[in-house]
Amino acid sequence: MATDEMESKERESLLELLSSALSDVRNRKEFISRFQNEVWNADDEFLASAAGEVFSDLAHDLEYYEPDPVRQSESGSYFGDERLESLVRKALADLESDVE
């Protein structure tokens, strides 16, 4: 499979996971975990691309997502749904502007 086609499939899969994380709050933590695993297991060439860097940065930032407000209070680094949604939407906007 051509590299561009592989990158396109990886990108599409990651975008679907992010979209699901935004729309399905109940299963958000699972979608975020799957997103992170896909990013961290992605091809180095993909991760070196502009899109790959956006995904990689987002995966790292989402390490601090904690849906439970009690657990959020355990560390100032943890954040909840509002910040997660903001980070994901910013990454999606960055990816969209990268395509144009």
Q: Is 77 among the domain residues?
A: yes
Question: Is pTM beyond 0.85 here?
Answer: yes
The domain that holds 86 is classified in CATH as 1.20.120
In the structure, what pLDDT confidence band is assigned to residue 79 with cuts at 50, 70 and 90?
Answer: very high
Helix extents (H) in the chain: 3-23, 28-40, 44-48, 50-61, 69-72, 81-99
Q: How confident is the model at residue 87 (pLDDT cuts 50, 70, 90)?
A: very high
Cα 100 from Cα 97, distance rounded (Å) = 5
The distance of Cα 2 from the centroid of its chain, to the nearest Å, equals 24
**Position 62 in a domain:** yes
Residue ranges making up the domain that contains 54 = 21-99
Mean of the pLDDT values across residues 7-16? 90
Q: Is residue 15 part of a domain?
A: no
Q: Is 45 left (phi over 0), alpha (psi -120 to 50) or beta?
A: alpha
Write down how long the chain is: 100
How many whole angstroms from its chain centre is CA 42? 13
pLDDT band of 8, cuts 50, 70, 90: confident
- Is residue 12 assigned to a domain? no
| pLDDT of 1 higher than 50 | no
The 10s digit of each residue's pLDDT in 12-56 is 999 999 999 999 999 999 999 999 999 999 989 999 999 999 999
Residue at 9 is within a domain: no
Q: In whole numbers, what is the pLDDT of the chain averaged over residues?
A: 91
Counting the structural domains of the chain, the total is 1
Q: Which residues contact 73 (CB under 8 A, 6 or more apart)?
A: none
